[in-house]
Amino acid sequence: MSTLTVKEQQRRKIATQCGFIAALDQSGGSTPTALHAYGIDDGAWSTEEEMFDLVHRMRTRIVTSPCFNGDRVFGAILFEGTMDRQIEGQPAADYLWGRKRVVPFLKVDKGLAEERDGVRLMKPIPQLDGLLERANTKGIFGTKMRSVIVQADPVGIAAIVDQQLDLAVRILDAGLMPIVEPEVDIHCPEKASAETLLRAALLAALERLPAERQLIFKLTLPEQDGLYADLVTHPQVLKVVALSGGYVRSEGNLRLRRNPGVVASFSRALVEGLAARQSDADFDATLDASIQAIFEASMT
């Protein structure tokens, strides 16, 4: 009888299991905001390393909570610094899969370039090949990379999709599963038009992808309900997940329920209500309620 490899098990879990992906990948630019929301002020750290120590403690508290496991959370996106650290004496990715049965992903982009043609492309990733090789050795299943659409500009949106898909092919060549995240800013003045342009560009890009290859799309919850239904059922799309994008959890969940087949990949909405000062019992209860609400919204 054949035995599935770890990556085959992980791919099957993502394809078939109900649940969602936890986005725990705040990097240098977004970490202070995440810590402030968690109740830790700037004065609590004096160096970047101390700041990352604090956010690692927050992430560790989340993933070691009894309510955080692969029954409802089938994946987690990590910051590079988290991948290189340990959780309860184990490398982070090994802990997530071995102890929690949560599939580990890695954020690989290096932030956003200045706006041009209504979008913010990703900055160059000069050491990408080395990072992908290291991710493979550390038990990472896939990657995530974010760019942002701020205007309904067809030139800029085409450029974003081209950049994302070019990098996705390199990631697939390295044996990893790419999460392609062309976020539409929720404050975009023509958000619905931008999303319609993006959908068309993504469908066209899939036609250029070899038939045997799949990827994951991470998209902003759209103004038009069911806009991404063709992507959800597309044979080259393993999953369509949604970012919270600045929506509070209740609004994100409401929009998620109106888009069947799309599941959550929430960050701020997931940790909403968590605080460093909470007792373990209160922290776990708050996180459990958040996970359950997002899980239920992802089951439509």
Active site residues: 181, 218
If you ran DSSP here, which 8-state letter would residue 170 be given?
H
Tokens 């982070």 — which residue? 92
d(CA 4, CA 24): 28
Residues 123 and 112: beta-carbon distance below 8 Å: yes
Rounded-to-integer distance, Cα 95 and Cα 77, Å: 13
Do the Cβ atoms of 40 and 276 come closer than 8 Å? yes
Q: Which structure tokens are listed for 251?
A: 């609004």
Contacts of 15 (CB under 8 A, 6+ apart): 238, 239
Strand partners, 218: 241
269 and 247 Cβ atoms separated by less than 8 Å: yes
Cα atoms found within 13 Å of the Cα of residue 74, Cβ hemisphere only: 20
